Amino acid sequence: MMVIPCENPLLFSLVTALVMSSTQSLADKIVIAHRGASGYFPEHTLEAKAMAYGMGAHYIEQDVVMTKDDHLIVLHDITLDRTTDVDEQYPNRARNDGRFYAIDFTLEEIRGLKASEGFRIENGEKVQGYSNRFPMGSSFFRVPTLEEEIQLIQGMNKSTGKDIGIYPEIKKTRVSS
């Protein structure tokens, strides 16, 4: 063991206390699964939330957005066009800025959308953030409701005896066109 001489015992005590408290805080970290396990499944899908649960998250985060008919859905953006096929199913419903806002669609309309990996538009083409995982337009992912996510997490808590929490974030809906 190497001993470092310290002429100021107060400074030594302070540094020692700081090191010990930061070591303790590392052991007390809380894991919040932002958008679920979005490194493994498309963000905010029930599959991503189940994976985050299985990976040991303490809390699972939900970004909450309202629909036109006052239902709460779980979607990171207030728009649908970065993670769904809304532009293909409702091409004439974009606002003047070219975006498709969740508040302009009913829950039934949103339920008919295919959710996918997040993507961006380059040269008029959709380019997925994770191009090697799930093909664009896979029909098995969808936008969940907040109620569905709560039921999923509560059901897994009952099945496992754990007490994993939810961590909702309410998104401000852009109302003006």
- Rounded to the nearest angstrom, the gap between the alpha carbon of residue 88 and the centroid of all alpha carbons in its chain is 24
Per DSSP bridges, beta strands 59-66 and 32-33 are parallel
Structure tokens given for 156: 């897994």
Question: In the numeric block, which tokens belong to residue 72?
Answer: 């709460």
**Strand residues in 14-138 grouped as ranges (E):** 32-33, 59-66, 72-74, 119-122, 125-128
Q: How far from 109 is each of 55, 85, 92, 103, CA to CA, in Å?
A: 32, 12, 14, 11
**Residue 176 in tokens:** 């003006």
Map residue 58 onto helix, strand or coil: coil
Q: Which amino acid is at 113?
A: L
3-state secondary structure of 72: strand
**Catalytic residue set:** 34, 76
β-bridge partners, 167: 61
